[in-house]
Amino acid sequence: MEPKPMERGDRTSEPRLPVDGEGPVGTSTKAVYAGELRPQPHHALTTPIYQTSTFTFVDTADTVAFMEAQTKGDETDRLEYGRYGNPTVAAAEGKLAALEGGERALLFSSGMAAITLSLLSLLSAGAHVVLVDDCYRRTRQFLADFMRRYDVESTQVPMGDYGALEAAIRPTTRLVLSETPTNPHLHVADLPRIVGVAREHGLRVIIDSTFATPVNLRPLESGADLVIHSATKYLGGHNDLLAGAAVGSKEMIAQLRETQALIGAVCDSHTAYLLVRGLKTLDLRIARQNDAGMAVARFLEERPEVERVYYPGLPSHPDHAVAHEQMSGFGGVVSFELEGDLRTTGHFVDALQLPHIGPSFGGVDALVEQVALTGYFECTREEREAIGIADTLVRLAVGVEDVDDLIADLGQALDRTYGSSE
């Protein structure tokens, strides 16, 4: 069906072609067009960087009209100050909301700002949170240490143990928090089961979907209330920005926006511009990284020096069935345990020639890290092992390099470390 023509000057945050009711809108179409004005000021193709901290008024009547709209809670595209919004930021937010299938999105200064401010906004003294034990260590630390100062308690339950999840719920529990896939073991949450348990007890569900991206998984479709992303990773895609995002209902995002306005952990226009640019190629990058991740995981699983591979696309992964049911792809991060010890694993990492050694993922450059050294260096070996972090655990994040070259590099590093397999 032919799309309806757009009026010149019509400014919409919806995907351009096709519109709702006239056919499905593909992920790449949303990634390219959603959230951006059309036409742009001065008929530019690219969303500009609005480098301003203040937005001015034409006259007193303009000022009064804006303030009255603010008082009534009316929606308006009008802005007054950079901490409350920015057109470049709004473009990125509109794009993310469309990709996740949410009503609204909100950008933050980092992924941690997104999760911490969301929790601060939705919780109050005396509240209780249930979270899975395989969440990012800083998220667990925030709830266990920081929020405890403000009389907010939390309970960690084993990932995948839904009986323990329900048993941990108290009268004071307000929400359930999970990542999927998790870091670093790439466990995949059964979202319908989590949401089902939460709904029985009137709880909200927050899902950190950074590893999945909206290309591979959209938790809102399974009933989650809020989706969190570290936009630093796959969404930006080039290891050149720090940002976070929350996507959900109009009402919930309005609540979070008010908290953000008070605390000030906002995303700047330069970062938002880079994020808009990165999102346009998200679907293309994720497709390539999905394929590369699977190929690397299969290669590593066949190598005798590799004791275990954690990748939800492999049948050997304990959550493979859940991942196959829920996800359209399994991502570009592969974790694996090697034979030997901490030193041997370090030799392997140093023998790699393509991946950079670094603590992130999701960009166009491959990154590798020895998890015991980067994320858990301050812990004793016994403490690490208690939470499943083996000395030989390696996390590899593929980029967009030729996967055959990356596999060849992994092979030569294994040969150099353990001796040639020939």
Residues with a catalytic annotation lie at 83, 136, 208, 233
**Could you give the C-alpha distances from 19 to 26, 314, 322, in angstroms and in order?**
11, 37, 32
Q: Considering Cα of 133, then 134, then 135, then 139, what sign does the dihedral take?
A: positive
Residue 1: the pLDDT is 38
Residue 24: the pLDDT is 67
Mean pLDDT within 22-35: 85
Tens of pLDDT, residues 242-295: 999 999 999 999 999 999 999 999 999 999 999 999 999 999 999 999 999 999
For the chain, give the number of residues: 422
- The amino acid at residue 295 is A
Residue with tokens 């030729």: 402
Q: Cis before residue 15, ω within 30 degrees of 0? A: no
CB 40 within 8 Å of CB 90: no
- On the question of pLDDT at 44 being above 50, the answer is yes
Angstrom distance (rounded) from CA 213 to CA 165: 25
- On the question of pLDDT at 15 being above 80, the answer is no
CB 267 within 8 Å of CB 243: yes
For residue 170, name the pLDDT band (cuts at 50, 70, 90): very high
Mean pLDDT within 197-207: 97
- On the question of pLDDT at 229 being above 50, the answer is yes
Residue 388: the pLDDT is 77
Residue 9: the pLDDT is 34
What's the chain look like in SS3? CCCCCCCCCCCCCCCCCCCCCCCCCCHHHHHHHCCCCCCCHHHCCCCCCCCCCECCCCCHHHHHHHHHHHHHCCCCCCCCEHHHCCHHHHHHHHHHHHHHCCCEEEEECCHHHHHHHHHHHHCCCCCEEEEECCCCHHHHHHHHHHHHHHCCEEEEECCCCHHHHHHCCCCCEEEEEEECCCCCCCCCCCHHHHHHHHHHCCCEEEEECCCCHHHHCCHHHHCCCEEEEECCCCCCCCCCCCCEEEEECHHHHHHHHHHHHHHCCCCCHHHHHHHHHHHCCHHHHHHHHHHHHHHHHHHHHHCCCEEEEECCCCCCCCCHHHHHHHCCCCCCEEEEEECCCHHHHHHHHHHCCCCEECCCCCCCCCEEEEHHHHCCCCCCHHHHHHCCCCCCEEEEECCCCCHHHHHHHHHHHHHHHHCCCC
Residue 29: the pLDDT is 92
Q: Cis before residue 18, ω within 30 degrees of 0? A: yes
Phi, psi of 309 (to 5 degrees): -115, 135
Tens of pLDDT, residues 301-348: 999 999 999 999 999 999 999 999 999 999 999 999 999 999 999 999
> What mean pLDDT is reported for the chain?
91
For residue 6, name the pLDDT band (cuts at 50, 70, 90): very low
Mean pLDDT within 363-385: 82
- On the question of pLDDT at 30 being above 90, the answer is yes
For residue 387, name the pLDDT band (cuts at 50, 70, 90): confident
For residue 22, name the pLDDT band (cuts at 50, 70, 90): low
Residue 220: the pLDDT is 98
CB 397 within 8 Å of CB 332: yes
CB 105 within 8 Å of CB 245: yes
Delineate the domains of the chain, giving CATH numbers in brackets: 86-279 (3.40.640.10), 282-418 (3.90.1150.10)
- On the question of pLDDT at 11 being above 50, the answer is no
Mean pLDDT within 29-55: 93
For residue 417, name the pLDDT band (cuts at 50, 70, 90): very high
Bridge partner list, 194: none
Angstrom distance (rounded) from CA 247 to CA 109: 15
Residue 221: the pLDDT is 97
CA 301 to chain centre: 27
Mean pLDDT within 94-114: 97
| Percent residues over pLDDT 70 in the chain | 92
Angstrom distance (rounded) from CA 309 to CA 338: 9
Q: Cis before residue 192, ω within 30 degrees of 0? A: no
Mean pLDDT within 64-73: 87
Residue 14: the pLDDT is 45
For residue 378, name the pLDDT band (cuts at 50, 70, 90): low
- The amino acid at residue 249 is S
Residue 401: the pLDDT is 97
Residue 353: the pLDDT is 98
Beta strand pairing call for 204-208 and 173-179:
parallel
Residue 135: the pLDDT is 87
Residue 38 class from Cβ within 10 Å (0-12 exposed, 13-18 middle, 19+ buried)?
A: middle
